[in-house]
Chains A and B, each alone.
Chain A
Amino acid sequence: MQITSRELKIIPTSTQLTFNDVIGSWKARWGINRMNFIVEPGLYSVGNPSSNSSVLVSANYKMSFDKLRKELKAMDVWILVLDTKGINVWCAAGKGTFGTQELINRIAIVQLEKIVSHRTVILPQLGAPGIKAHEVSKFSGFKVIYGPVKAKDVKEFINSGMKATAEMRTVRFHAYDRLVLTPVDLVLSFKVSLMIFGVLFLLNLLGVGPFGFIDFYAYIGAVIVGCVLTPVLLPWIPGKAFAWKGWLLGIIWAVLVQVLNGWPDAPQYSLLRALGYLLILPPVSAFYAMNFTGSSTFTSFSGVLKEMKIAVPMIAISIFSGIVLLLVNSFIKY
């Protein structure tokens, strides 16, 4: 009888990020090649790990993997990368791809029991929504320890004998954390904006317009207010619902647009058009601000649903009425 044994495959990696790694991260933030920014799932070695070294589990989104390994300078550890389809740990856990099944399978595929003598794997805490720790130990024999939320605390966590402070266990969402998330939404909003400009251009050709430079910058401003300004200023804007916060900054922008065009002393366009802007611009900001719930770290499904049941109809009615006013205005003029 022939006994075949699978080869152990270990991929060496370093704690030093190259120029290309950094550029890759930056591109992903701007939505360039974001869905294909991946590393191969499997077992990686950092430094010269032994059979006693810790095993850290991560996702195969390259930004997640890079953020982890750059924090492991002067350490000898293993990194077990799960196949999360190129999605970061927290989102993949929510989807279940950073999950119990994948972890158990990946431990078996890399034959972790032959590589380390201990029976512990350290998971990022934000992987927990996808993992049933007690089932992982039941089926793989490996005990799950949840490490800190942030990779930068991993070293301290391991050095202190796997103790996480309350601070390490809590998700923060500082202004900078929010800022780095805004480009992706902005880039995606441009695609929608281009379509809207296309429609306006056609209306101009048909003679219904004319839509001009004021419409252009008023709209772009409203998008930036919703996609960038509201997220960055989030905790300082009164109220709780994201759409409301966006609307509030949006109405300030809408009033500013009127002032820039001579209101109230020497208005450069009609009252009808002014009202149209007041009805359209704030809900545009509100809509994009509402979409930031998906990037935020603290909104619940029930909460977002409650917010949307009120916000979505109001946004739709307001924008629709505003468009009617603008169209009526241009018909009166011509």
Chain B
Amino acid sequence: MKTQYLKDVSTLKLKSDRCTGCGRCIEVCPHNVFGINDGRSVIVDKDRCMECGACVKNCPFKALEVKQGVGCAYAIIMGWLTGTEPSCDCSDNGSGGCC
């Protein structure tokens, strides 16, 4: 059974004019978001994106943008409470579910 999350939320953006079609984004994406069309990368299904940032980091041509972040409620709560950016830091204090 397929796991799906909320629609129309991902901040992923692709600037086609910068893309050279090297295929690195297709290689690193864990959710099969990209495809190749006419020698350039295209976003096939943006709703599958989890904003992990793998494609952005590995694009040598800076053709991709995303607000990289952790999809973790506990991290966001801790961010709210401590006034910091939510990060996957639950491992440091031994609480929370992620990692």
Chain A positions near chain B (C-beta within 8 angstroms)? 34-35, 85-88, 91, 93-95, 125-126, 128-134, 146, 149, 164, 166, 169-171, 173, 181, 184-185, 188, 191, 234-236, 240-242, 290-308, 312
| Contact B98 A298, beta carbon cutoff 8 Å | no
| Contact A304 B1, beta carbon cutoff 8 Å | no
| Contact A88 B57, beta carbon cutoff 8 Å | no
| Contact B28 A170, beta carbon cutoff 8 Å | no
State the CA gap A88–B87 with chains docked (Å): 15
| Contact B73 A294, beta carbon cutoff 8 Å | yes
| Contact B32 A299, beta carbon cutoff 8 Å | no
For chain B residues 83-99, which have a beta carbon within 8 Å of chain A? 86-91, 94-99
- In the complex, which of the residues A146, A170, A242, A301 contacts B86, with contact meaning CB atoms closer than 8 Å? A301
| Contact A240 B30, beta carbon cutoff 8 Å | no
List 20 other contacts, CB 8 Å, given A129-B54, A291-B74, A306-B9.
A88-B99, A91-B88, A93-B52, A94-B52, A164-B27, A181-B97, A188-B95, A234-B3, A235-B3, A292-B97, A294-B88, A294-B96, A297-B50, A298-B5, A301-B67, A301-B71, A301-B86, A302-B10, A302-B11, A303-B10
* 20 sampled A-B residue pairs with Cβ under 8 A: A85-B91, A128-B58, A129-B52, A132-B57, A149-B30, A170-B30, A188-B97, A235-B2, A235-B3, A240-B6, A291-B97, A292-B97, A293-B72, A294-B88, A294-B99, A297-B30, A301-B51, A302-B51, A303-B9, A308-B76
State the CA gap A94–B8 with chains docked (Å): 22
Q: Which residues of A contact B50 (CB under 8 A)?
A: 297-300
Chain B positions near chain A (C-beta within 8 angstroms)? 1-7, 9-11, 24, 27-32, 48-54, 57-58, 60, 67-77, 86-91, 94-99
Say how far A38's CB is from chain B's closest CB, in angstroms.
12
Q: Which residues of A contact B86 (CB under 8 A)?
A: 301
| Contact A169 B27, beta carbon cutoff 8 Å | yes
| Contact A294 B58, beta carbon cutoff 8 Å | no
- In the complex, which of the residues A87, A132, A146, A294 contacts B71, with contact meaning CB atoms closer than 8 Å? A294
Say how far B65's CB is from chain A's closest CB, in angstroms.
13
Query: Chain B's interface: helix, strand, loop or mixed, by majority?
Result: loop
Say how far B55's CB is from chain A's closest CB, in angstroms.
8
State the CA gap A14–B2 with chains docked (Å): 36
Q: Which 8 A-B pairs have the closest CB atoms?
A: A301-B69, A294-B72, A294-B98, A299-B71, A128-B54, A91-B99, A128-B28, A235-B1
Q: Which residues of A contact B29 (CB under 8 A)?
A: 169
State the CA gap A253–B98 with chains docked (Å): 26
Say how far A190's CB is from chain B's closest CB, in angstroms.
12
- In the complex, which of the residues A87, A300, A306 contacts B49, with contact meaning CB atoms closer than 8 Å? A300
Q: Which residues of B contact A308 (CB under 8 A)?
A: 73, 76-77
Q: Which residues of A contact B48 (CB under 8 A)?
A: 298
| Contact A170 B31, beta carbon cutoff 8 Å | yes
Kindly report which residue of chain A lies nearest to residue B10, judged by CB atoms: A300
Say how far B68's CB is from chain A's closest CB, in angstroms.
7
- In the complex, which of the residues B2, B32, B52 contacts A166, with contact meaning CB atoms closer than 8 Å? B32
Q: Which residues of A contact B60 (CB under 8 A)?
A: 134
Kindly report which residue of chain A lies nearest to residue B94, judged by CB atoms: A35
| Contact A240 B71, beta carbon cutoff 8 Å | no
- In the complex, which of the residues B24, B95, B98 contacts A91, with contact meaning CB atoms closer than 8 Å? B98
Q: Which residues of B contact A34 (CB under 8 A)?
A: 94
Chain A CB within 10 Å — which of B6, B53, B96, B97 has the most?
A: B97
- In the complex, which of the residues B54, B69, B94 contacts A302, with contact meaning CB atoms closer than 8 Å? B69
Kindly report which residue of chain A lies nearest to residue B6, judged by CB atoms: A303
